[in-house]
Amino acid sequence: MKLLILNLGSSSIKYQLLENNKFLIKGLIERIGMSVSRIKQIFFKKKILKKSILNKKIENHFLGIKKIKNLLCDENVITEEIYAIGHRIVHGGYFFSKPTIISENVKKKIKKLFNIAPIHNYINYMGIKISEKIFKTSIQVAVFDTEFHSTIPKKSYLYAIPDEFYLKHYIRSYGFHGISHKFVSKTAIQYLKNNKVKLITIHLGNGSSVTAINSGKSVETSMGFAPNSGLIMGTRSGDIDSNIIFHALKKGFKIDELIEILNKKSGMLALSGYSDMRDIKKKYEKGDKKARLAYEMYAYRVKKYIGISISVMNGVDALIFTGGIGENDILMRKLICKDLDFLGIKLDKKKNNFINENKNVIEIQKKNNKVKIIVIKTNEELQISEDILFILKKNN
């Protein structure tokens, strides 16, 4: 059974073609909408692992998915062979708490959540619509980022506002990046051979979040009602005082204008002039003051949520770094772990400096350290594949 997984981010598309949970082709289109996009693809050809990199401008996600279809055809993948397409959907809201086979009713409900996750759910929805046209014989399945956080207790997910906001409008904290947090926490539990372990999973990418996981269950997370809260991100502000919005409205800003600013023109872009951490790091290394401040603010916000997570769980056994920045940015991991010795978090600088490691799990804490610091490569596509197989078996 062949499954194609599409994971659309705000400026990227990850994709994997799997058969029996083993990848045949996987790739990444990144920097979508920027001056130069990059397509990386890994695949087997005559039982030999091949890699290809193509630099080409991809203006939007529609063209990105069309390109993926062409790349699959180039490797002699017949679209009718693909049994199901799995879609990562950022916001399931109050409608969805488990993987779901997509129907017209499901699509209507996903559309209703556009106003909560304006960047992502629209992109995810378009991914479904495009896939239905290209892969006409495939079953379409939605897997939701909010699902993993359904275990967060009521004292955490409710806001201290009048009841009607929750009871009538379902306004509460939902949490996001759940597919990634679920995958790396499962991997950590298996690696540490401890089902009761207390984990803090730190997913750092263009979108970023921290989750406290106790015995395999999410109990607290940095993102709330929508993906803009919590940490500073590539173009998203993260936490801000709500009165800033009221003040801006009184000053003449329009609601749609503020949505655009807080989601697409804030975060690291507002602080440094760049949204991609790799570009900011180059400026940082050249002594750019804006880049240095942006790095320090980003790390500070992560440290703040590490503290929150530890207090909620009354301790921590392992700190997990994942996501594009978490897995690859040596400097950011160093800044985040700095001055956390009193919590038992001590980074080994030499171990942290690993480059091009093929291992999926790497420990980078000092020897005999109380708290493990582990870098785990996330694989949201594999997690989505497992969820698809689960729901397909359940419906047969």
CA–CA separation, 181 and 192 (whole Å): 16
Q: Which amino acid is at 270?
A: A
The dihedral region occupied by 96, where left means phi > 0, alpha psi between -120 and 50, and beta the remainder, is beta
Length of the chain: 396
Q: Is the separation of the CB atoms in 365 and 371 below 8 Å? A: yes
Q: Among this protein's residues, is 387 annotated catalytic? A: no
CA–CA separation, 330 and 204 (whole Å): 12
CA–CA separation, 396 and 393 (whole Å): 5
Determine which one of 74, 145, 239, 279 is catalytic: 145
CA–CA separation, 261 and 265 (whole Å): 5
Q: How do beta strands 100-101 and 198-204 pair?
A: unpaired
| Closest by Cα among 88, 83, 152, 122 to 378 | 88
Q: Which H or E element spans position 381? A: helix 380-395
Q: Is the separation of the CB atoms in 165 and 191 below 8 Å? A: no
φ and ψ at residue 387, rounded to 5 degrees: -70, -35
Q: Is the separation of the CB atoms in 336 and 347 below 8 Å? A: no
Active site residue ranges: 145
